[in-house]
A and B are shown apart, each in its own frame.
Chain A
Amino acid sequence: MRALNLSYTSREQVEVYRFSWPVSVGLPLLLMALQAFLPVRLHYFRVFDFGLLLTIFFAVSRRSQLSGTLTGAAIGMLQDGLTHTPFGVFGIAKTLVGYGASSIGIRIDVENPGSRFLLAFFFYAVHQAVFVAVERELMGQSIHVNLGHEAGAALANSVMAVFLFALLNRFKIRD
């Protein structure tokens, strides 16, 4: 919490980034392909949600709610396409995450690893909560939530976010 307070900054100090078209389109495709492929060889990779991490990364880097919303929706729909659930389940969850992450990105410095870790942890929890709500309330599915497993997955995704965001920083272009 202390770290968050220290890194709180005004809008003027916040830098806005953009990404080239090949990165904006190719990166989600590559990461989604990795997410689909890696569990074939390493089944525990199933806990990582690269789509979510990428949604958060794009949202906090661009710092635009409009862009965050649309990016989240697009990545969510892409993820829906790979499952057998109807389109919209991951889409709705990631749309909200994209909007939320970009809203927070306007107010918080998200360049340090601590805030990135907390951001990923928080938004993983939000994503799962929305996902379960959609599955249960809209789809009528009986989803079992294992809180211990979800906490572990949130932790794993947060650690991954720190490294992945550092790697993805290379693709940023200062606006």
Chain B
Amino acid sequence: MCTYKCLHSNCVFLRIVLPEGALSAEPEARMEMVLRRASQGDQRAFAEIVREHQGMVFSIGWHFFADRALAEDLAQEVFLQLYQGLPAIQSTSHLTHWLRRTAVHRCIDHSRRKNFRRESPLEEMQEIATGTAPADSFLHERLRQTVAQLPEKQRMVVLLRYQEELGPGEIAELLNMPVNTVKSTLHRALEELRGKLTRKLKEARYAIF
């Protein structure tokens, strides 16, 4: 039972109408302002840029390497590089594009230098297989791990397609590849993923039973 009482004889307050929309500027216009301030040396504004984009930059590294510490280090380097080159950034869309491009190329460079390869140990697979996690998050976890084991080019194409939702043309421009190569690489990557996942699940089943 819900009761309401207005105990003040002059209850002007109750006639307050909530605004229909937000009073502040559109998000994009606001980010343009933040970018301008950051370019002028405002560190608070730069911190806001970091907060806004750290999810994207970190996730590219994390999904590429499946290594949180490495992903954080690379993401940090990207933002420090951004801080040096802020005056050259012309707009928020340029900023997003620059961050994505820099993160991608840093990942690829690091991978080539270290010849990075990650294999999930059998114990980890067993844990996941016998855990009480719902089926879809088990699948997602396996997908993440398997993506991280793809060859470097396929891995990055998959990330850009499904994490960043970029089209083949945008991926081609980012990776300096012909569009058809992007499409065929994506096709092969998905085939590889299906094959790897099926093999891993069979191995896990044998391990359990």
A binds B: no
Interface residues of chain A, those whose CB is within 8 Å of chain B, are none
Interface residues of chain B, those whose CB is within 8 Å of chain A, are none
